[in-house]
Structures are given as C-alpha cells and as structure tokens.
C-alpha cells in the first residue's frame, strides 16, 4: 500500500509499469500468448504438444471473460459497487460487434439480400432500421462497441448515483436492468434478431472467421486487449482517484465531507468499467460466432461476480485467475458430466469462501507475507512457539 510516495511522481498511465505485480502479470500473460502461438503454429498437429484451433479459440474466449472480470473487479473491488448486471454491458458490446459482422455478410446470406440481414428478410422488413445504419463501417461499429455500453452506464449511473442508491439496492437495480434488456432483446420487433440473436458471421475486417489464422489472430488481439485493459485499471486504482474510490467504498459519507463529489467518481469508474465490459463482449462474439439475448441473463451476471470472488476481490489479477479457472473447470465439467457442473460451481464457491475468504489472490498475498516475515525475523517461529508454550 505504500507505493504512494516512491512511484507516483511519474505520469499516471505509465505508473503501473513500476509495480511488481503488474510486471509479473504482463510477463505471464505475454509468455502464455507466445507459448500458445508457438505450440499452435510451430508444433506439427500429430505431436501431443500441439494446440489445436479449437483450443486456441477456447482460450480466446477465456481471455475475453477475463477482461470482463477485470471490469467487474474495478467497480466491485475498488468502488464497492456490486454490479449484478455487467453482463448487459458485455452483451451490448457483443451486439455492436454482431451488427458489424452481420453487415459484413452482405448478399451471401440465405436470402441473398444485398443490405438486409437474413432475419429481417424473414420478418418481411423492407428497409434497415435506423440504428443499423453505419454498422457496415468498421470504425463506426468499433466505436459503438465502447460508446453504446458507456452511454447506457452513463445514463443509468447518473440516475442511480445522483439519488445515492448504493449497496444492495443498486445490486438489485443492476440485476433488473439486465433482466429488462434480456426481455426486450427477445422480441423480434427490437430489430436485433429476437431469441435467435445474430449469427452466421463470415468475416471480420476482411479475414475469414472460419480460418485458423483468424482464430489465432482474435486470440492474440483479445490477449493484448486484456493487457491494455489491465494496465488502464491498474493506472486508475494506483492514482489518487483510485484511493478516492477505495475511500468511497469504505466510508462514502466521510469522502463526501472531504469535498469529493462521490457520485461523479462513482459514475466515472462505472462508465470506464462498462466500456471495458463492452470491449470484452465485442471480442467474445466473433470467437463464439453468435450473440443472443441469453448473454443478458441475470445468471450470467451473477456468474461473473463469482469468478471475481473466487479469484480474489480488489486485486485485478485475481479476477483474471478466477475467470480463467472457473471457465476452464466449466469446460471440463460440462464435457465430462454436464449435470454436475452447477454443483461443482457451488462447491467451489463454498470451499473458497470457507478456506480462502480472500480468493486465490489472497492465498498468494498470504504466502508472500509469510515469506517476508520469516526472512525479516528468522526466529519468528521459535518465538511464537515459546509464546504458546
């Protein structure tokens, strides 16, 4: 916690690079990206070490979940806002990407219409709804990936924080938000493909989505996005604004008396987090090939919170570990015995809560502190033995 004095004289965005935890995180992430790439490209397919396109794709999906978990940890861990609706921002980012990918299909759809996506032809629509315009341009769609969730978070957060809605009430409202959006997106009249969602994507900025090279590319782009998102969040939490967030989390009224307009800080962090969640959704959609309203389901949003809790709150890297760990376990379990998955998730959550109340990251911190204590005070164990005797 004492990094204030030594490292904070430099520029806020470069500050995280002087932190040991960030260096380790980025090192491990880049090494993992390089390793997967090498094992996929350079190792022949008949070698047992070869990583197949399917696995690369799966890892890419985990990385987008990890970015989503980082976004949730930013608001929950550091600002104390337990959002049970972050899936909504993830899904909206995903829909923005999905709309772009739909427009890229062009006249190669089943009905061969030059402009309208298949589902609109099927519904007998004769023109594109106004909000679908512009999504044929990559720059516009990619801007919307950030702006659409950001705008929703801005309006929602403005109303909630201005009325000083926090704690459990805010969690319930975020849950209601994502549920309402799910119901809305299920309707065909909304113009987002109803319960089938958007699918049958073909290419992204000219690259064939079904080719292995594109999948590897998407995996690497997601990894870089995770690294950048992590650095941005670290830069925020190590700045004075990050300390104001922690202060707000622990004693909101007190922070207000210090002269900080707490609701604006909450809004700022919430919007940044929503945009990161949107980015994660946009990277997720081309890798799984579909976006439908189930991403808005309240269960999914709760699951995200579980990843963060398992990995360890308020560490950011804990969120990444949690997201990857839980989803890896999910892949294995739903493959081996699909019915047991929910029980396994529940058991994992109970075990971590009981034995690792601060998550996996808490275990790291504990081990590190013990090592430091032992090296600083070699006869520590002996003294404590004497004391207990």
* Interacting residue ranges for other proteins, rule: CB under 8 A: 1-2, 4-5, 8-10, 12, 236, 239-241, 243-244, 246-247, 249-251, 253-261, 264-265, 268
User: At closest approach, how far in Å is the CB of 191 from other proteins?
Assistant: 35
> Is the Cβ of residue 116 or residue 262 nearer to other proteins in the bound state?
262
> Is the Cβ of residue 210 or residue 240 nearer to other proteins in the bound state?
240
User: At closest approach, how far in Å is the CB of 378 from other proteins?
Assistant: 23
> Is the Cβ of residue 253 or residue 376 nearer to other proteins in the bound state?
253
Q: Are 350 and 343 in contact (CB under 8 A)?
A: no
Separation of alpha carbons 128 and 41, rounded Å:
42
> Is the Cβ of residue 9 or residue 47 nearer to other proteins in the bound state?
9
DSSP per-residue codes, 54-103? HHHHHHHHHHHHHHHHHHHHHHHHTT----S-HHHHHHHHHHHHHHHHHH
Nearest Cα neighbor of 373 from 362, 363, 381 is: 381
Separation of alpha carbons 74 and 314, rounded Å:
7
User: At closest approach, how far in Å is the CB of 171 from other proteins?
Assistant: 21
Separation of alpha carbons 146 and 279, rounded Å:
6
User: At closest approach, how far in Å is the CB of 47 from other proteins?
Assistant: 49
The gap from C-alpha 51 to its chain's centroid, in whole angstroms, comes to 24
Compute how many other C-beta atoms are within 10 angstroms of the C-beta atom of residue 11.
7
User: At closest approach, how far in Å is the CB of 265 from other proteins?
Assistant: 6
> Is the Cβ of residue 240 or residue 380 nearer to other proteins in the bound state?
240
> Is the Cβ of residue 230 or residue 296 nearer to other proteins in the bound state?
230
User: At closest approach, how far in Å is the CB of 381 from other proteins?
Assistant: 22
Q: Are 302 and 291 in contact (CB under 8 A)?
A: no
């Amino acid at each position: 916690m004492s990094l204030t004095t030594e490292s904070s004289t430099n520029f806020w965005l470069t500050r995280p690079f002087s932190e040991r935890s960030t260096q380790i995180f980025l090192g491990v992430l880049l090494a993992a990206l390089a390793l997967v790439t090498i094992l996929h490209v350079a190792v022949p397919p008949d070698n047992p070490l070869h990583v197949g396109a399917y696995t690369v794709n799966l890892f890419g999906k985990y990385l987008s979940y990890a970015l989503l978990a980082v976004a949730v940890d930013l608001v929950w861990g550091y600002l104390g806002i337990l959002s049970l609706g972050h899936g909504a921002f993830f899904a909206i980012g995903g829909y923005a990407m999905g709309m772009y990918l739909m427009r890229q299909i062009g006249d190669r759809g089943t009905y061969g219409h030059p402009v309208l996506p298949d589902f609109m032809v099927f519904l007998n629509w004769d023109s594109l709804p106004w909000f679908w315009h512009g999504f044929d341009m990559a720059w516009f769609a990619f801007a919307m990936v950030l702006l659409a969730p950001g705008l929703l978070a801005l309006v929602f957060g403005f109303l909630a924080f201005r009325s000083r809605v926090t704690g459990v009430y805010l969690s319930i409202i975020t849950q209601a938000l994502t549920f309402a959006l799910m119901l809305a997106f299920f309707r065909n009249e909304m113009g987002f493909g109803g319960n089938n969602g958007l699918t049958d994507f073909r290419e992204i900025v000219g690259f064939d989505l079904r080719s292995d090279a594109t999948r590897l590319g998407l995996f690497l782009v997601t990894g870089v996005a995770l690294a950048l998102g992590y650095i941005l969040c670290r830069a925020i939490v190590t700045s004075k604004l990050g300390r104001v967030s922690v202060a707000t989390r622990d004693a909101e009224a007190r922070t207000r008396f210090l002269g900080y307009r707490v609701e604006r800080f909450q809004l700022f962090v919430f919007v940044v987090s929503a945009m990161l969640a949107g980015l994660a959704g946009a990277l997720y959609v081309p890798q799984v090939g579909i976006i439908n309203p189930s991403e808005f389901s309240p269960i999914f949003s709760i699951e995200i919170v579980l990843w963060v809790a398992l990995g360890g709150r308020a560490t950011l890297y804990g969120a990444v570990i949690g997201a990857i760990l839980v989803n890896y376990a999910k892949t294995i379990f739903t493959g081996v015995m699909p019915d047991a998955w929910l029980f396994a998730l529940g058991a994992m959550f109970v075990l971590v809560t009981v034995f690792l109340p601060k998550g996996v990251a808490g275990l790291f911190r504990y081990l590190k502190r013990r090592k430091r204590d032992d090296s600083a005070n070699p006869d520590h164990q002996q003294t404590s033995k004497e004391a207990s005797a």
